[in-house]
A and B are shown apart, each in its own frame.
Chain A
Protein backbone atom coordinates (compact mmCIF):
# COMPACT_ATOMS: atom_id res chain seq x y z
CA UNK A 1 0.00 0.00 0.00
CA UNK A 2 1.54 3.27 1.15
CA UNK A 3 4.84 1.61 1.81
CA UNK A 4 5.18 0.69 -1.86
CA UNK A 5 6.19 4.21 -2.77
CA UNK A 6 9.85 3.90 -3.60
CA UNK A 7 10.32 7.48 -4.68
CA UNK A 8 12.87 9.08 -2.43
CA UNK A 9 14.03 5.81 -0.88
CA UNK A 10 17.68 4.87 -0.95
CA UNK A 11 18.53 1.48 -2.42
CA UNK A 12 21.57 0.00 -0.68
CA UNK A 13 24.14 -1.49 -3.02
CA UNK A 14 27.57 -0.68 -4.40
CA UNK A 15 27.89 0.69 -7.93
CA UNK A 16 29.65 3.36 -9.94
CA UNK A 17 26.54 5.49 -9.82
CA UNK A 18 26.30 5.11 -6.05
CA UNK A 19 29.88 6.28 -5.69
CA UNK A 20 29.52 9.38 -7.86
CA UNK A 21 29.65 12.75 -6.20
CA UNK A 22 26.10 13.84 -5.39
CA UNK A 23 26.74 17.15 -7.12
CA UNK A 24 27.31 15.27 -10.36
CA UNK A 25 24.10 13.34 -9.91
CA UNK A 26 22.11 16.44 -9.07
CA UNK A 27 23.45 18.37 -12.02
CA UNK A 28 22.96 15.39 -14.32
CA UNK A 29 19.38 14.92 -13.18
CA UNK A 30 18.56 18.58 -13.76
CA UNK A 31 20.19 18.46 -17.19
CA UNK A 32 18.38 15.23 -18.02
CA UNK A 33 15.03 16.72 -17.10
CA UNK A 34 15.74 19.82 -19.17
CA UNK A 35 16.83 17.63 -22.05
CA UNK A 36 13.48 15.85 -22.02
CA UNK A 37 11.76 19.12 -22.75
CA UNK A 38 14.35 20.33 -25.22
CA UNK A 39 14.39 17.14 -27.28
CA UNK A 40 11.34 17.23 -29.43
CA UNK A 41 11.09 14.16 -31.49
CA UNK A 42 11.47 10.44 -31.47
CA UNK A 43 15.24 10.53 -32.06
CA UNK A 44 15.89 12.51 -28.89
CA UNK A 45 13.80 10.11 -26.85
CA UNK A 46 15.65 7.13 -28.22
CA UNK A 47 18.92 8.71 -27.14
CA UNK A 48 17.39 9.51 -23.74
CA UNK A 49 16.18 5.92 -23.39
CA UNK A 50 19.63 4.57 -24.20
CA UNK A 51 21.21 6.98 -21.74
CA UNK A 52 18.73 6.02 -19.02
CA UNK A 53 19.19 2.31 -19.71
CA UNK A 54 22.96 2.62 -19.38
CA UNK A 55 22.67 4.55 -16.14
CA UNK A 56 20.15 2.10 -14.66
CA UNK A 57 22.35 -0.81 -15.66
CA UNK A 58 25.36 0.83 -14.04
CA UNK A 59 23.40 1.62 -10.88
CA UNK A 60 22.68 -2.07 -10.19
CA UNK A 61 19.24 -1.15 -8.87
CA UNK A 62 16.70 -3.70 -10.14
CA UNK A 63 14.49 -2.10 -12.79
CA UNK A 64 11.45 -3.65 -11.12
CA UNK A 65 12.21 -1.63 -8.03
CA UNK A 66 12.00 1.58 -10.03
CA UNK A 67 8.82 0.65 -11.82
CA UNK A 68 7.22 -0.01 -8.45
CA UNK A 69 7.80 3.64 -7.64
CA UNK A 70 5.74 4.54 -10.70
CA UNK A 71 2.64 2.82 -9.40
CA UNK A 72 2.01 5.67 -7.01
CA UNK A 73 1.66 8.21 -9.78
CA UNK A 74 0.15 6.05 -12.51
CA UNK A 75 -3.19 7.73 -11.90
CA UNK A 76 -1.72 11.18 -12.43
CA UNK A 77 0.00 9.93 -15.55
CA UNK A 78 -3.21 8.48 -16.97
CA UNK A 79 -5.17 11.66 -16.40
CA UNK A 80 -2.54 13.82 -18.08
CA UNK A 81 -2.34 11.47 -21.01
CA UNK A 82 -6.12 11.28 -21.41
CA UNK A 83 -6.50 15.05 -21.24
CA UNK A 84 -3.95 15.50 -23.96
CA UNK A 85 -5.39 12.70 -26.04
CA UNK A 86 -8.90 14.11 -26.11
CA UNK A 87 -8.49 17.83 -25.69
CA UNK A 88 -5.85 18.65 -28.26
CA UNK A 89 -7.36 20.32 -31.33
CA UNK A 90 -6.15 19.21 -34.74
CA UNK A 91 -6.74 16.67 -37.45
CA UNK A 92 -9.39 14.20 -36.19
CA UNK A 93 -8.59 10.48 -36.22
CA UNK A 94 -11.40 8.81 -34.26
CA UNK A 95 -14.56 10.25 -32.83
CA UNK A 96 -16.12 8.73 -29.75
CA UNK A 97 -19.38 10.29 -28.64
CA UNK A 98 -18.38 13.93 -28.04
CA UNK A 99 -14.70 13.28 -27.75
CA UNK A 100 -12.34 13.39 -30.66
CA UNK A 101 -8.90 11.94 -30.83
CA UNK A 102 -6.66 13.95 -33.08
CA UNK A 103 -3.35 13.14 -34.69
CA UNK A 104 -1.74 15.96 -32.70
CA UNK A 105 -3.41 14.66 -29.56
CA UNK A 106 -1.92 11.21 -29.99
CA UNK A 107 1.50 12.69 -30.65
CA UNK A 108 1.30 14.96 -27.64
CA UNK A 109 -0.05 12.26 -25.34
CA UNK A 110 2.63 9.77 -26.32
CA UNK A 111 5.40 12.32 -25.91
CA UNK A 112 4.04 13.47 -22.62
CA UNK A 113 3.78 9.93 -21.31
CA UNK A 114 7.37 9.26 -22.35
CA UNK A 115 8.57 12.51 -20.80
CA UNK A 116 6.80 11.87 -17.51
CA UNK A 117 7.99 8.29 -17.26
CA UNK A 118 11.57 9.24 -18.07
CA UNK A 119 11.40 12.15 -15.69
CA UNK A 120 10.25 9.98 -12.82
CA UNK A 121 12.62 7.14 -13.54
CA UNK A 122 15.48 9.57 -14.04
CA UNK A 123 14.93 11.35 -10.77
CA UNK A 124 14.34 8.12 -8.91
CA UNK A 125 17.69 6.82 -10.16
CA UNK A 126 19.16 9.77 -8.33
CA UNK A 127 17.26 9.22 -5.09
CA UNK A 128 17.77 5.46 -5.20
CA UNK A 129 21.52 5.77 -5.54
CA UNK A 130 22.14 8.74 -3.29
CA UNK A 131 21.47 8.83 0.43
CA UNK A 132 19.39 11.84 1.37
CA UNK A 133 22.32 13.06 3.40
CA UNK A 134 24.58 13.02 0.36
CA UNK A 135 21.82 14.61 -1.64
CA UNK A 136 21.37 17.46 0.77
CA UNK A 137 25.15 17.77 1.12
CA UNK A 138 25.39 18.07 -2.64
CA UNK A 139 22.61 20.59 -2.77
CA UNK A 140 24.14 22.57 0.05
CA UNK A 141 27.44 22.74 -1.79
CA UNK A 142 25.92 23.56 -5.18
CA UNK A 143 23.77 26.30 -3.69
CA UNK A 144 26.42 27.66 -1.36
CA UNK A 145 26.85 30.89 -3.38
CA UNK A 146 23.27 31.74 -2.41
CA UNK A 147 24.37 32.20 1.20
CA UNK A 148 25.81 35.53 0.18
CA UNK A 149 22.30 36.76 -0.46
CA UNK A 150 21.25 35.36 2.94
CA UNK A 151 19.50 32.22 1.77
CA UNK A 152 19.74 29.76 4.73
CA UNK A 153 21.17 27.02 2.55
CA UNK A 154 22.38 24.76 5.37
CA UNK A 155 19.11 24.99 7.28
CA UNK A 156 17.03 24.18 4.21
CA UNK A 157 19.29 21.26 3.39
CA UNK A 158 18.99 19.93 6.95
CA UNK A 159 15.21 20.31 6.87
CA UNK A 160 14.99 18.37 3.65
CA UNK A 161 17.23 15.66 4.96
CA UNK A 162 15.09 15.26 8.06
CA UNK A 163 11.88 15.31 6.07
CA UNK A 164 13.21 12.49 3.92
CA UNK A 165 14.24 10.48 6.96
CA UNK A 166 10.77 10.77 8.44
CA UNK A 167 8.70 10.07 5.34
CA UNK A 168 8.80 6.29 5.72
CA UNK A 169 8.15 6.56 9.45
CA UNK A 170 5.14 8.78 8.95
CA UNK A 171 3.87 6.55 6.16
CA UNK A 172 3.93 3.59 8.48
CA UNK A 173 2.29 5.66 11.16
CA UNK A 174 -0.48 6.69 8.76
CA UNK A 175 -1.06 3.07 7.95
CA UNK A 176 -1.23 2.19 11.63
CA UNK A 177 -3.63 4.96 12.63
CA UNK A 178 -5.81 4.19 9.65
CA UNK A 179 -6.04 0.58 10.73
CA UNK A 180 -6.70 1.57 14.33
CA UNK A 181 -9.61 3.76 13.24
CA UNK A 182 -10.86 1.05 10.89
CA UNK A 183 -10.87 -1.27 13.90
CA UNK A 184 -13.31 1.26 15.35
CA UNK A 185 -15.40 0.84 12.19
CA UNK A 186 -14.25 4.08 10.58
CA UNK A 187 -15.03 4.26 6.89
CA UNK A 188 -12.48 6.02 4.70
CA UNK A 189 -13.87 4.92 1.38
CA UNK A 190 -17.55 5.57 0.83
CA UNK A 191 -19.56 8.78 0.64
CA UNK A 192 -19.22 12.00 -1.31
CA UNK A 193 -16.27 14.35 -1.26
CA UNK A 194 -17.37 16.22 1.86
CA UNK A 195 -18.01 13.03 3.78
CA UNK A 196 -14.69 11.63 2.67
CA UNK A 197 -12.87 14.77 3.74
CA UNK A 198 -14.61 14.64 7.09
CA UNK A 199 -13.70 10.99 7.52
CA UNK A 200 -10.04 12.00 7.33
CA UNK A 201 -10.21 13.97 10.58
CA UNK A 202 -9.70 10.88 12.77
CA UNK A 203 -6.63 10.10 10.68
CA UNK A 204 -5.12 13.55 10.31
CA UNK A 205 -5.47 14.79 13.89
CA UNK A 206 -3.48 11.90 15.41
CA UNK A 207 -0.99 12.10 12.56
CA UNK A 208 -0.30 15.78 13.14
CA UNK A 209 -0.01 15.29 16.87
CA UNK A 210 2.45 12.50 16.30
CA UNK A 211 4.45 14.54 13.81
CA UNK A 212 4.72 17.41 16.26
CA UNK A 213 5.75 15.07 19.05
CA UNK A 214 8.44 13.59 16.84
CA UNK A 215 9.65 17.02 15.76
CA UNK A 216 9.91 18.05 19.38
CA UNK A 217 11.82 14.91 20.36
CA UNK A 218 14.13 15.23 17.40
CA UNK A 219 14.93 18.86 18.10
CA UNK A 220 15.86 17.91 21.64
CA UNK A 221 17.97 14.96 20.52
CA UNK A 222 19.81 17.16 18.00
CA UNK A 223 20.52 19.82 20.60
CA UNK A 224 21.73 17.19 23.03
CA UNK A 225 24.21 16.14 20.37
CA UNK A 226 25.55 19.67 20.12
CA UNK A 227 23.83 20.68 16.91
CA UNK A 228 23.97 24.45 16.49
CA UNK A 229 23.50 25.18 12.81
CA UNK A 230 25.92 24.98 9.94
CA UNK A 231 28.78 27.17 11.20
CA UNK A 232 31.98 25.45 12.35
CA UNK A 233 30.62 22.07 11.40
CA UNK A 234 32.99 19.55 9.90
CA UNK A 235 31.92 16.86 7.47
CA UNK A 236 32.20 13.13 7.89
CA UNK A 237 31.88 12.73 4.16
CA UNK A 238 33.25 15.89 2.57
CA UNK A 239 32.70 16.23 -1.15
CA UNK A 240 35.70 15.91 -3.44
CA UNK A 241 35.47 15.41 -7.16
CA UNK A 242 37.25 12.27 -8.31
CA UNK A 243 38.25 11.27 -11.82
CA UNK A 244 35.03 9.31 -12.31
CA UNK A 245 33.05 12.48 -11.57
CA UNK A 246 34.72 14.37 -14.41
CA UNK A 247 34.12 11.39 -16.67
CA UNK A 248 30.48 11.43 -15.64
CA UNK A 249 30.17 15.13 -16.47
CA UNK A 250 31.70 14.43 -19.86
CA UNK A 251 29.28 11.57 -20.38
CA UNK A 252 26.28 13.76 -19.60
CA UNK A 253 27.48 16.48 -21.96
CA UNK A 254 28.06 13.80 -24.59
CA UNK A 255 24.50 12.65 -24.06
CA UNK A 256 23.10 16.14 -24.55
CA UNK A 257 25.11 16.60 -27.72
CA UNK A 258 24.05 13.20 -29.02
CA UNK A 259 20.41 13.93 -28.33
CA UNK A 260 20.45 17.25 -30.10
CA UNK A 261 22.48 15.87 -32.99
CA UNK A 262 20.12 12.91 -33.38
CA UNK A 263 17.14 15.26 -33.57
CA UNK A 264 18.86 17.37 -36.23
CA UNK A 265 19.94 14.36 -38.26
CA UNK A 266 16.48 12.89 -38.28
CA UNK A 267 15.05 16.22 -39.38
CA UNK A 268 17.57 16.40 -42.24
CA UNK A 269 16.80 12.90 -43.47
CA UNK A 270 13.03 13.27 -43.34
Chain B
Protein backbone atom coordinates (compact mmCIF):
# COMPACT_ATOMS: atom_id res chain seq x y z
CA UNK B 1 0.00 0.00 0.00
CA UNK B 2 1.62 3.22 -1.10
CA UNK B 3 2.40 6.08 1.25
CA UNK B 4 2.18 9.62 -0.07
CA UNK B 5 3.52 12.64 1.75
CA UNK B 6 2.25 15.99 0.61
CA UNK B 7 4.18 19.05 1.83
CA UNK B 8 4.71 17.68 5.31
CA UNK B 9 6.13 20.07 7.88
CA UNK B 10 7.05 19.39 11.46
CA UNK B 11 8.04 22.01 13.99
CA UNK B 12 9.21 21.03 17.48
CA UNK B 13 8.18 23.40 20.23
CA UNK B 14 6.21 25.48 17.75
CA UNK B 15 5.11 28.16 20.22
CA UNK B 16 8.41 28.60 22.03
CA UNK B 17 11.58 30.56 21.39
CA UNK B 18 13.38 27.30 20.71
CA UNK B 19 11.20 26.18 17.82
CA UNK B 20 12.99 23.79 15.48
CA UNK B 21 11.74 23.27 11.97
CA UNK B 22 12.54 19.56 11.70
CA UNK B 23 10.73 18.84 8.43
CA UNK B 24 10.28 21.37 5.67
CA UNK B 25 7.77 20.75 2.88
CA UNK B 26 8.62 17.09 2.49
CA UNK B 27 6.76 15.51 -0.43
CA UNK B 28 7.43 11.87 -1.25
CA UNK B 29 5.78 8.88 -2.84
CA UNK B 30 6.65 5.49 -1.43
CA UNK B 31 5.18 2.87 -3.73
CA UNK B 32 4.83 -0.83 -2.92
CA UNK B 33 7.81 -3.11 -2.92
CA UNK B 34 10.68 -0.65 -3.02
CA UNK B 35 13.90 -1.00 -1.04
CA UNK B 36 14.69 2.53 0.03
CA UNK B 37 17.72 3.93 1.81
CA UNK B 38 17.10 7.04 3.89
CA UNK B 39 20.33 8.86 4.67
CA UNK B 40 21.33 12.09 6.34
CA UNK B 41 23.49 13.07 9.28
CA UNK B 42 22.22 13.25 12.84
CA UNK B 43 19.59 15.94 13.13
CA UNK B 44 18.76 16.02 9.42
CA UNK B 45 15.16 15.05 10.13
CA UNK B 46 15.22 11.43 9.05
CA UNK B 47 14.10 10.04 12.40
CA UNK B 48 11.34 12.61 12.59
CA UNK B 49 10.28 11.68 9.09
CA UNK B 50 9.94 7.96 9.76
CA UNK B 51 7.92 8.59 12.89
CA UNK B 52 5.40 10.42 10.74
CA UNK B 53 4.98 7.43 8.47
CA UNK B 54 3.37 5.32 11.18
CA UNK B 55 1.55 8.12 12.94
CA UNK B 56 3.75 8.31 16.05
CA UNK B 57 4.26 11.96 15.25
CA UNK B 58 1.73 14.29 13.77
CA UNK B 59 2.61 16.67 10.99
CA UNK B 60 2.40 20.35 11.93
CA UNK B 61 1.06 20.94 8.43
CA UNK B 62 0.68 18.92 5.24
CA UNK B 63 -0.92 15.53 4.69
CA UNK B 64 0.17 11.92 4.76
CA UNK B 65 -1.89 9.36 2.88
CA UNK B 66 -1.66 5.65 3.49
CA UNK B 67 -3.37 3.72 0.75
CA UNK B 68 -5.22 6.87 -0.21
CA UNK B 69 -6.53 7.66 3.25
CA UNK B 70 -5.43 10.68 5.24
CA UNK B 71 -3.81 9.28 8.39
CA UNK B 72 -4.60 12.38 10.40
CA UNK B 73 -8.33 12.16 9.68
CA UNK B 74 -10.34 11.67 12.86
CA UNK B 75 -11.74 8.25 11.96
CA UNK B 76 -8.43 6.79 10.82
CA UNK B 77 -7.30 3.80 12.86
CA UNK B 78 -3.76 4.64 14.01
CA UNK B 79 -3.25 1.22 15.53
CA UNK B 80 -3.95 -0.47 12.24
CA UNK B 81 -1.56 1.92 10.54
CA UNK B 82 1.17 0.99 13.01
CA UNK B 83 0.68 -2.68 12.26
CA UNK B 84 0.87 -2.02 8.53
CA UNK B 85 3.84 0.31 8.75
CA UNK B 86 6.25 -1.44 11.11
CA UNK B 87 8.92 0.77 12.66
CA UNK B 88 12.03 -0.72 14.23
CA UNK B 89 13.79 1.91 16.33
CA UNK B 90 17.51 2.30 16.86
CA UNK B 91 18.85 -0.20 19.40
CA UNK B 92 15.48 -1.98 19.38
CA UNK B 93 16.75 -4.62 21.82
CA UNK B 94 16.25 -1.98 24.53
CA UNK B 95 12.49 -2.41 24.22
CA UNK B 96 12.46 -6.14 25.04
CA UNK B 97 10.71 -6.83 28.33
CA UNK B 98 9.18 -10.32 28.47
CA UNK B 99 10.64 -13.29 30.26
CA UNK B 100 11.18 -15.28 27.10
CA UNK B 101 11.85 -14.53 23.46
CA UNK B 102 8.65 -16.02 22.08
CA UNK B 103 6.32 -14.16 24.45
CA UNK B 104 8.06 -10.93 23.65
CA UNK B 105 7.51 -11.37 19.92
CA UNK B 106 3.84 -12.13 20.66
CA UNK B 107 3.39 -8.66 22.17
CA UNK B 108 2.71 -6.88 18.88
CA UNK B 109 0.17 -9.30 17.37
CA UNK B 110 -1.51 -9.68 20.76
CA UNK B 111 -2.09 -5.93 20.84
CA UNK B 112 -3.85 -6.29 17.50
CA UNK B 113 -6.48 -8.41 19.24
CA UNK B 114 -5.83 -11.56 17.21
CA UNK B 115 -6.72 -14.95 18.66
CA UNK B 116 -4.08 -16.87 20.51
CA UNK B 117 -3.38 -19.35 17.74
CA UNK B 118 -2.85 -16.65 15.13
CA UNK B 119 -0.64 -14.68 17.54
CA UNK B 120 1.60 -17.68 18.11
CA UNK B 121 1.70 -18.57 14.45
CA UNK B 122 2.79 -15.06 13.54
CA UNK B 123 5.42 -14.95 16.27
CA UNK B 124 6.81 -18.25 15.06
CA UNK B 125 6.89 -17.10 11.44
CA UNK B 126 8.53 -13.82 12.38
CA UNK B 127 11.27 -15.52 14.38
CA UNK B 128 11.89 -17.84 11.44
CA UNK B 129 12.08 -14.86 9.09
CA UNK B 130 14.88 -13.29 11.11
CA UNK B 131 16.67 -16.61 11.22
CA UNK B 132 16.60 -17.29 14.94
CA UNK B 133 16.94 -20.97 15.83
CA UNK B 134 14.22 -22.73 17.83
CA UNK B 135 16.60 -23.38 20.73
CA UNK B 136 16.46 -19.73 21.70
CA UNK B 137 12.68 -19.34 21.66
CA UNK B 138 12.12 -20.00 25.34
CA UNK B 139 15.26 -18.33 26.63
CA UNK B 140 15.24 -14.97 28.31
CA UNK B 141 15.93 -12.33 25.65
CA UNK B 142 18.50 -10.81 28.01
CA UNK B 143 20.70 -13.91 27.79
CA UNK B 144 21.15 -13.62 24.02
CA UNK B 145 24.03 -11.96 22.20
CA UNK B 146 23.66 -8.41 20.89
CA UNK B 147 22.95 -9.50 17.33
CA UNK B 148 20.40 -12.10 18.44
CA UNK B 149 18.58 -9.63 20.69
CA UNK B 150 18.30 -7.26 17.81
CA UNK B 151 16.81 -9.95 15.60
CA UNK B 152 14.24 -10.76 18.26
CA UNK B 153 13.30 -7.09 18.41
CA UNK B 154 12.93 -6.95 14.62
CA UNK B 155 10.80 -10.10 14.75
CA UNK B 156 8.61 -8.31 17.30
CA UNK B 157 7.67 -5.82 14.60
CA UNK B 158 7.53 -8.35 11.76
CA UNK B 159 5.01 -10.41 13.73
CA UNK B 160 2.41 -7.72 13.03
CA UNK B 161 2.84 -8.53 9.33
CA UNK B 162 3.62 -5.02 8.19
CA UNK B 163 3.47 -4.10 4.53
CA UNK B 164 6.11 -1.45 5.02
CA UNK B 165 9.08 -2.11 7.27
CA UNK B 166 11.15 0.83 8.47
CA UNK B 167 14.45 0.14 10.22
CA UNK B 168 16.28 2.97 11.96
CA UNK B 169 19.99 2.11 11.91
CA UNK B 170 19.50 -1.61 12.36
CA UNK B 171 23.25 -2.28 12.40
CA UNK B 172 24.34 0.32 14.95
CA UNK B 173 26.91 -1.12 17.36
CA UNK B 174 27.15 -4.54 15.69
CA UNK B 175 30.43 -6.02 14.54
CA UNK B 176 31.06 -6.41 10.78
CA UNK B 177 29.72 -9.96 10.56
CA UNK B 178 26.68 -9.12 12.69
CA UNK B 179 26.05 -6.16 10.42
CA UNK B 180 26.24 -8.24 7.25
CA UNK B 181 24.01 -10.90 8.78
CA UNK B 182 21.26 -8.46 9.72
CA UNK B 183 21.36 -6.67 6.37
CA UNK B 184 21.46 -9.97 4.48
CA UNK B 185 18.47 -11.14 6.50
CA UNK B 186 16.56 -7.97 5.66
CA UNK B 187 17.41 -8.28 1.97
CA UNK B 188 16.19 -11.89 1.97
CA UNK B 189 13.04 -10.93 3.79
CA UNK B 190 12.42 -8.24 1.24
CA UNK B 191 12.85 -10.74 -1.57
CA UNK B 192 10.65 -13.43 0.00
CA UNK B 193 7.76 -11.27 1.13
CA UNK B 194 7.97 -8.38 -1.33
CA UNK B 195 7.27 -5.80 1.36
CA UNK B 196 8.51 -2.24 1.15
CA UNK B 197 11.66 -1.68 3.20
CA UNK B 198 12.99 1.68 4.31
CA UNK B 199 16.49 1.49 5.71
CA UNK B 200 17.67 4.49 7.72
CA UNK B 201 21.44 4.39 7.76
CA UNK B 202 24.69 6.27 8.12
CA UNK B 203 26.67 3.71 6.23
CA UNK B 204 26.83 4.52 2.54
CA UNK B 205 28.61 1.25 1.86
CA UNK B 206 25.62 -0.68 3.25
CA UNK B 207 23.02 1.43 1.54
CA UNK B 208 24.76 1.19 -1.83
CA UNK B 209 24.86 -2.58 -1.62
CA UNK B 210 21.18 -3.20 -0.95
CA UNK B 211 18.76 -0.44 -1.88
CA UNK B 212 17.28 0.62 -5.20
CA UNK B 213 16.44 4.16 -4.21
CA UNK B 214 18.13 6.66 -1.91
CA UNK B 215 16.51 9.61 -0.21
CA UNK B 216 18.99 12.10 1.22
CA UNK B 217 17.73 14.41 3.95
CA UNK B 218 19.42 17.64 4.94
CA UNK B 219 18.15 20.22 7.42
CA UNK B 220 14.65 18.84 7.22
CA UNK B 221 14.35 18.81 3.43
CA UNK B 222 14.78 16.15 0.80
CA UNK B 223 18.05 16.97 -0.94
CA UNK B 224 18.29 14.04 -3.36
CA UNK B 225 15.87 11.28 -4.23
CA UNK B 226 17.13 8.92 -6.91
CA UNK B 227 18.82 5.60 -7.67
CA UNK B 228 22.10 5.12 -5.73
CA UNK B 229 24.30 5.65 -8.78
CA UNK B 230 22.78 9.06 -9.43
CA UNK B 231 22.79 10.14 -5.79
CA UNK B 232 26.41 9.19 -5.20
CA UNK B 233 27.35 11.09 -8.36
CA UNK B 234 26.73 14.16 -6.17
CA UNK B 235 29.54 13.18 -3.80
CA UNK B 236 30.81 16.74 -3.58
CA UNK B 237 27.46 18.01 -2.32
CA UNK B 238 27.15 14.98 -0.03
CA UNK B 239 30.49 15.82 1.55
CA UNK B 240 29.37 19.36 2.17
CA UNK B 241 26.54 18.11 4.36
CA UNK B 242 28.75 15.68 6.27
CA UNK B 243 27.99 12.58 4.20
CA UNK B 244 30.04 10.79 1.58
CA UNK B 245 29.79 8.30 -1.26
CA UNK B 246 31.00 4.73 -0.66
CA UNK B 247 34.78 4.35 -0.60
CA UNK B 248 34.80 2.46 -3.96
CA UNK B 249 33.33 5.49 -5.68
CA UNK B 250 36.36 7.47 -4.54
CA UNK B 251 38.77 4.77 -5.69
CA UNK B 252 37.28 4.88 -9.17
CA UNK B 253 37.39 8.65 -9.11
CA UNK B 254 41.06 8.55 -8.10
CA UNK B 255 41.79 6.29 -11.09
CA UNK B 256 39.77 8.45 -13.42
CA UNK B 257 41.50 11.62 -12.22
CA UNK B 258 44.78 9.94 -13.09
CA UNK B 259 43.86 9.31 -16.65
CA UNK B 260 42.16 5.91 -16.57
CA UNK B 261 39.11 5.63 -18.76
CA UNK B 262 36.86 3.99 -16.17
CA UNK B 263 33.44 5.16 -15.10
CA UNK B 264 33.20 6.63 -11.62
CA UNK B 265 29.48 6.03 -11.15
CA UNK B 266 30.28 2.80 -9.36
CA UNK B 267 28.86 2.20 -5.90
CA UNK B 268 29.65 -1.37 -4.89
CA UNK B 269 32.76 -3.54 -4.73
CA UNK B 270 31.32 -5.97 -7.26
CA UNK B 271 30.62 -3.22 -9.77
CA UNK B 272 34.12 -1.81 -9.29
CA UNK B 273 35.63 -5.24 -9.74
CA UNK B 274 33.71 -5.79 -12.98
CA UNK B 275 34.61 -2.35 -14.30
CA UNK B 276 38.31 -2.75 -13.58
CA UNK B 277 38.46 -6.27 -14.99
CA UNK B 278 36.70 -5.08 -18.13
CA UNK B 279 39.22 -2.29 -18.37
CA UNK B 280 42.20 -4.61 -17.97
CA UNK B 281 40.85 -7.16 -20.45
CA UNK B 282 40.21 -4.41 -22.97
CA UNK B 283 42.83 -2.12 -24.35
CA UNK B 284 44.26 -1.46 -20.91
CA UNK B 285 45.56 1.85 -22.07
CA UNK B 286 45.61 5.24 -20.42
CA UNK B 287 43.61 7.93 -22.13
Interface residues of A (CB under 8 A from B): 62, 64, 68, 176-177, 179-187, 201-202, 205-206, 209-210
> Are A184 and B111 in contact, with the CB atoms below 8 A?
yes
- Interface segment among B21-29, B31-39, B78-86: the answer is B78-86
Report B-chain residues with C-beta under 8 Å of the C-beta of A205: 97
> Are B17 and A184 in contact, with the CB atoms below 8 A?
no
> Are A183 and B89 in contact, with the CB atoms below 8 A?
yes
Report B-chain residues with C-beta under 8 Å of the C-beta of A187: 79, 111
> Are B108 and A184 in contact, with the CB atoms below 8 A?
yes
Chain B interface extent, by class: 20 to 34
Would you give the shortest CB distance from B156 to chain A, in whole angstroms?
6
> Are A180 and B142 in contact, with the CB atoms below 8 A?
no
Would you give the shortest CB distance from A190 to chain B, in whole angstroms?
11
A-B contact pairs, 10 of them (CB 8 A): A64-B16, A176-B89, A177-B95, A180-B94, A181-B107, A183-B82, A185-B83, A185-B111, A202-B97, A202-B107
With A184-B156, A202-B97 as known contacts, state yes or no: A179 contacts B111, CB within 8 Å.
no
Report A-chain residues with C-beta under 8 Å of the C-beta of B156: 184
A-B pairs, 8 with minimum CB distance: A205-B97, A185-B111, A184-B108, A180-B95, A183-B87, A180-B89, A202-B97, A185-B79
Please measure, in the bound complex, the distance between the C-alpha atom of A254 and the C-alpha atom of B77, giving whole angstroms.
Answer: 61
Would you give the shortest CB distance from A84 to chain B, in whole angstroms?
31
> Are B79 and A184 in contact, with the CB atoms below 8 A?
no
> Are A185 and B95 in contact, with the CB atoms below 8 A?
no
Would you give the shortest CB distance from A53 to chain B, in whole angstroms?
21
Please measure, in the bound complex, the distance between the C-alpha atom of A210 and the C-alpha atom of B97, giving whole angstroms.
Answer: 11
Would you give the shortest CB distance from A196 to chain B, in whole angstroms?
14
Please measure, in the bound complex, the distance between the C-alpha atom of A176 and the C-alpha atom of B56, giving whole angstroms.
Answer: 11
> Are A201 and B97 in contact, with the CB atoms below 8 A?
yes
Additional A-B contact list (20), CB under 8 Å, known A183-B56, A185-B108: A68-B16, A176-B94, A179-B89, A180-B92, A180-B95, A181-B107, A182-B82, A183-B87, A183-B88, A183-B157, A184-B82, A184-B157, A185-B79, A185-B112, A201-B97, A202-B107, A206-B94, A206-B96, A209-B142, A210-B94
Report B-chain residues with C-beta under 8 Å of the C-beta of A201: 97
CB under 8 Å from chain A, chain B span 39-86: 51, 54, 56, 79, 82-83, 86
Report A-chain residues with C-beta under 8 Å of the C-beta of B88: 183
Please measure, in the bound complex, the distance between the C-alpha atom of A187 and the C-alpha atom of B79, giving whole angstroms.
Answer: 9
B160 within 8 A of partner (CB): yes
CB under 8 Å from chain A, chain B span 148-186: 156-157, 160
Please measure, in the bound complex, the distance between the C-alpha atom of A182 and the C-alpha atom of B89, giving whole angstroms.
Answer: 11
Q: Which of A64, A177, A179, A180 has the most CB of B within 10 A?
A: A180
Please measure, in the bound complex, the distance between the C-alpha atom of A62 and the C-alpha atom of B95, giving whole angstroms.
Answer: 37
Q: B17, B56, B86: which contacts A182 (Cβ < 8 A)?
A: B56
Q: Which residue of chain A has its CB nearest to the CB of B166?
A: A183
Report A-chain residues with C-beta under 8 Å of the C-beta of B94: 176-177, 180, 206, 209-210
Q: Which residue of chain A has its CB nearest to the CB of B15?
A: A64
Would you give the shortest CB distance from B83 to chain A, in whole angstroms?
6
